[in-house]
Amino acid sequence: MSHLFDQSPALTRLHPFGSLMNGWSKVAEKSLDRIDSKPDWAVEALTPSGQSRPIKPKIVLDKAFCALTKFATTSKQSSVETVLIIAPMSGHYATLARNTVASLVPDCNVYVTDWKNARDVPTSAGSFNVDDFVDYLVEFITYLGPMTHVFAICQPAPLAAAAAARLALDNPAAMPNSLILMGGPVDPAANPSAVTDYASKTDIEHLRSTVIMPVGDEYAGAGRLVYPGLMQLTAFMSMNAATHIEAFVRQVGAESDGTAHDHDRHNSFYNEYLAVMDMPAEFFLDTVQRIFKDRDIATNSFVHHGQKLDLGAVRTTRLLVIEGGRDDISAPGQCKA
């Protein structure tokens, strides 16, 4: 619709609301484009000489549901640290961690779990649940070696702990150097939030019948059951609806008066925030049941492929917990529990 105004500038002059309509159409069009596409990594990092240069991602392990992606350090040191960033599988793409990658690359080789949009994974690849997620983490940590620092952001924090417990049981020599858990639902009951309340009180079968949908025929994953990213985005935005509405109204004004640009504050944020991916249905439902309802990690009763894991067996790996004082998803206290 915005092309109509671009091709006929007179429309914005002939009607007093023409420029506002033009601004609204541009904001709406950009928003819809973002929802359906994955952002580029576009990582820029400082070199030892102080110059900024692009760092190209390299896929080192390509799995059905995740591409383990490397960003090589710009450091000239002969020995550098290895960091594995476990990005959330909770609706947004791993590119949301772009700035974290850029801040670490000058000193470390950085690897990221770049989870794939479930709509693009053929049904022939099989299912993907919480146990499979832990399998992936165990494989990645083992591949990178025991000096790896594992950095789990939000949703994967409890499952990173489970992966460490699995390694302690099966392969202690592969235990990571450190485990950094940042703002994740290790114990959702420690300080309930709107997210944890909804997850703990909503019946699983109700979720299965209301939010789980099959992928359409136009995608590679046609027929796969997923929890749609658009539905997750709606849930996220509803938590701070007034803030988002204000931001979009303000951007309509900026588009109308010509002060908006591709890299302004609004576009820089919403380019990532509105880009969402579908999750495998079994992973979503498993997470709600095992992490939020049953609190398997908090009660040290997590069972992985039929075998109970003991979180207390993780003794040689250093642990760091980071929480956000205003985190409204995993509230303070949930992670350090």
Q: What is the DSSP string of 264-305?
A: SHHHHHHHHHT-B--EEHHHHHHHIIIIIIS-TTTTT--EET
Cα angle 337-316-294, degrees, rounded to a multiple of 5: 30
In which band, very low, low, confident or very high, does the pLDDT at 271 lie, cut at 50, 70 and 90?
confident
Percentages of the chain per state (helix, strand, coil), in multiples of 5: 45, 20, 35
What's the pLDDT score for residue 31? Answer: 65
Instruction: Give 215-242 pLDDT, tens digit per residue.
Output: 999 999 999 999 999 898 888 787 777 8
How sure is the predictor about 14, in pLDDT bands with cuts at 50, 70 and 90?
Answer: very low
| Domain residue spans of the chain | 2-32, 36-228+278-322
Phi-psi region of 145 (alpha: psi -120 to 50; beta: other; left: phi over 0): left
Identify the three-state secondary structure at position 189: helix
Q: Which residues contact 296 (CB under 8 A, 6 or more apart)?
A: 290, 302, 303
- CA torsion 22→27→32→38, rounded to 10°? 140
Share of the chain above pLDDT 90, in %: 65
Q: Average pLDDT of the chain?
A: 89
State the architecture of 36-228+278-322 in CATH terms: 3-Layer(aba) Sandwich (3.40)
Q: Enter the DSSP assignment of 96.
A: G
Tokens matching residue 6: 């671009």
CA dist list (Å): 51 to 47, 106, 223? 5, 11, 48
Going by pLDDT thresholds of 50, 70 and 90, the confidence category of residue 2 is very low
How far is the C-alpha of 88 from the C-alpha of 94, rounded, in Å?
7
Instruction: Report how far residue 227's alpha carbon sits from residue 212's, in angstroms, rounded to the nearest whole number.
Output: 5
